Structures are given as C-alpha cells and as structure tokens.
C-alpha cells in the first residue's frame, strides 16, 4: 500500500509549487523523482571481478530553497528487498539473514544532519541505518543542475554523490569465511537524485468537466463552493480516482501553483477530514502550513503522519525543520 502512495507522491506530491514568485526562495520540500534517479553500487569478488548492483525501490524528500546549500537536508528510504545484481540466485541470497536480512530489516534509511563545505567540495553529513546498525557518514556531492524548469515545465534540480562503506560495519556477509575471503570489504555507492515538483498545467484531469468546474469555483469564488460541487456530484463519477484521497489533493497542489496558499490549506484540511486514514493527507497539510509559517500546526500534523506511517519522508523532514 505504501509503495503505491510513494509512487503517487513522486508523481504528484507538491506539484503546485512550480513557477511561483512568492515562494521562489523559500525552503520547501521536493520529492525525489525515482523514475529519473538511481542508487547503484559495486564491489569486487575474488579481487578481480567488479560486481554491480542497484536498488529499484526508494523514496524520499529533499528540503532546499534554491539558493543556500547549507540549508539543504534529505531523508531517503530504500526497500532492501529491491536489491538487484542481475543474478536471481545471488539476489535471493543477499536478502537472507547473513546479508541484508530483509524480513527483519525491510528498510535502509538515511537522514542528513547538515551540509559542510571544504573548499569547493560539499558534503552531506548524516546517519545511515542498515540491518539495525547506525553509522554516521559524509556523502561528497555536487549540484548537477540547480532549480530550473525542465522541458515539461516541472521545477527540477539534480544532485550526484558517491561514497564508500565497509560492509562489515553492518554485518553484511556473516555466514562463514568464504564470503569474507572472496568479497571485498569496501562497497562503492553512486547516487543520482533528481527532485521534481510537477507542473499541474499538464494534467488532463483539469480538462474533464467535473474537475474543471470544481477548480474554477475554488479559484474564482471560494473553496467552500468548489467542495460543495464535489460533494454534490461526485457520486455520478464512476472513476475510482475521483473517490480517492489523491483527487482533492491535486486541487490543493494546483492552487499553490497559482499562489493560492490559503485556499490550498482549506482543501488539504477537508481532504484530511475526509480521509483521516491516509498518512499523506496529514503530511501534505503539514507542509502547506509550514510554507504559511504556521509551525505549531505543521508540527502537529507531521507527527500524526508519522504515527500513521513511520516511513513518510515528508513528515520526517518536516519534523527535523520544525523541531530545530
């Protein structure tokens, strides 16, 4: 279930913040675009063979204001069972207890603590947790492209980083001496992270009569009239998406895109009341309140999101910034 929500977050989360002027230099959350990002690694086998691999499922958020790298922070979660070295038998073994032990430790997490700069090199300091063991580390990184519109009008920036870890620090390969003799201790990790806020102008949703009528009422009149139209006519719509928490969430995103933050907050609040079981209705509302400067309320809603789902990276990042 959360995998689907994370995919939704990557595709749709906070897309309404694009092309704004008022919020252009404000610290805000950018979801990782997993379709244009990668986490790859390599290590040596028998001292001669370089074995590559990757993780196919991950999600996260990066807070950034577009100007001050020292304020950048990130939270990333990787599904350990998504490891792929292109050899099925090996991948199955890597998921067992002597390596990643994915049944007991399904997630690999990273949360940054601060950015430090030495000369022209930037480092993202933070803590990684893998197989129940925590370790502080520094990730040398560079800004490949600062915030700018891509060809589809999405607001995007891209970071790249590399680091090396010792697998023994996390108890990877504990079964017998064979693995310790044949597999190198050092694992090289390559990160390419592209963060994107989607351009809602490209969504076909707003061309549909039902959605178009709701949005126009919200924009030109008030949120109450738009929601009243939704309530009155939603049962006539057969599409399941119309009856999901994601539907109204997109209207809030679009309202923020056109600098209607107060109206967006009202939509997020209604959506949260309508779908209190969905963790992202709390975290999206919390982020909008954060942008509005209502830190106390934002802190409360982000905490509720984490109570619903501890792997909600937007809420994790909000808690970090709001607790400072």
3-state secondary structure 200-239: HHHCHHHHCHHHHHHHHHHHHCCHHHHHHHHHHHHHHCCC
Residue 217 tokens read as: 């009422």
Query: Would you say 144 and 126 are in contact if contact means Cβ atoms under 8 Å apart?
Result: no
pTM (whole model) above 0.85: yes
Average pLDDT estimate for 300-316: 98
Average pLDDT over the chain, rounded to an integer? 90
Instruction: Give CA–CA dist 298/301, Å, rounded.
Output: 5
pLDDT class for 47, splitting at 50, 70, 90?
A: low
Share of residues in the chain with pLDDT > 90 (%): 82
pLDDT, residue 26, reads 87
pLDDT of 2 higher than 70: no
Q: In which band, very low, low, confident or very high, does the pLDDT at 227 lie, cut at 50, 70 and 90?
A: very high
Q: What is the mean pLDDT of residues 216-230?
A: 96
CA 274, 323, 302: angle at the middle one, nearest 5? Answer: 10
Pairwise CA distance, residues 69 & 115, whole Å: 7
pLDDT of residue 3: 46
Say which residues have a Cβ less than 8 Å from residue 147's Cβ, sequence separation at least 6. 64, 66, 155, 156, 157
Backbone angles phi, psi at 71, to 5 degrees: -90, -5
The mean pLDDT of 174-186, rounded to a whole number, is: 68
List Cα–Cα distances, 92 to 50, 60, 65, 88, 102, in angstroms.
19, 25, 41, 6, 10
What are 116-129's pLDDT values in tens digits?
Answer: 999 999 999 999 99
What is the per-residue pLDDT across 64-76, written as a single tens digit (0 to 9) for each? 999 999 999 999 9
Identify the pLDDT of residue 183: 80
Q: Of 135, 242, 149, nearest to 196 (Cα)?
A: 149
The pLDDT assigned to 177 comes to 57
Condensed to tens digits (0 to 9), the pLDDT of residues 236-270 reads 999 999 999 999 999 999 999 999 999 999 999 99
Question: What is residue 223's predicted lDDT score, i.e. its pLDDT?
Answer: 97
Domains of the chain: 19-197 (2.40.128.110), 201-323 (1.25.40.10)
Task: Say whether pLDDT at 10 is over 60.
Answer: no
Residue-level pLDDT at 185: 84
Task: Name the least confident of 11-15, 136-140, 181-185, 193-197.
Answer: 11-15
The C-alpha angle with vertex 319 and arms to 39 and 269, in degrees rounded to 5, equals 105
Q: Residue 128: which of 69, 68, 187 has the closest Cα? A: 187
pLDDT at 20 over 60: no
CA distance 66 to 28: 9
Mean pLDDT of 273-293: 98
């Amino acid at each position: 279930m959360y995998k689907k929500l994370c995919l939704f977050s990557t595709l749709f989360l906070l897309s309404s913040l694009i092309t704004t002027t008022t919020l252009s230099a404000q610290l805000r959350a950018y979801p990782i675009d997993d379709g244009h990002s990668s986490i790859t690694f390599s290590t040596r086998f028998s001292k001669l063979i370089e074995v590559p691999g990757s993780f196919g499922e991950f999600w996260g958020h990066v807070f950034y204001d577009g100007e001050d790298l020292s304020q950048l922070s990130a939270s990333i979660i990787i599904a350990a069972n998504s490891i792929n070295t292109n050899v099925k038998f090996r991948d199955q073994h890597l998921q067992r207890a002597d390596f990643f032990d994915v049944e007991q430790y399904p997630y690999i997490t990273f949360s940054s603590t601060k950015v430090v700069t030495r000369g022209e090199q930037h480092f993202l300091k933070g803590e990684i947790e893998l197989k129940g063991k925590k370790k502080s580390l520094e990730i040398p990184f560079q800004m490949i492209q600062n915030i700018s519109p891509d060809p589809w009008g999405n607001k995007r920036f891209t970071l790249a980083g590399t680091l090396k870890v010792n697998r023994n620090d996390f108890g990877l390969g504990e079964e017998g001496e064979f693995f310790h003799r044949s597999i190198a201790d050092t694992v090289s990790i390559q990160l390419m992270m592209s963060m994107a806020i989607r351009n809602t102008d490209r969504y076909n949703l707003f061309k549909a009569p039902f959605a178009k009528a709701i949005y126009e009422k919200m924009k030109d009149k008030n949120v109450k009239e738009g929601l009243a139209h939704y309530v009155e006519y939603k049962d006539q719509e057969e599409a399941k998406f119309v009856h999901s928490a994601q539907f109204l969430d997109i209207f809030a995103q679009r309202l923020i895109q056109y600098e209607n933050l107060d109206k967006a907050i009202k939509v997020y609040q209604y959506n949260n009341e309508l779908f209190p079981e969905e963790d992202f209705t709390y975290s999206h509302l919390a982020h909008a309140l954060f942008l509005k400067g209502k830190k106390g309320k934002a802190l409360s809603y982000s905490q509720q999101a984490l109570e619903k789902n501890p792997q909600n990276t937007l809420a994790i990042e909000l808690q970090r910034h709001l607790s400072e």
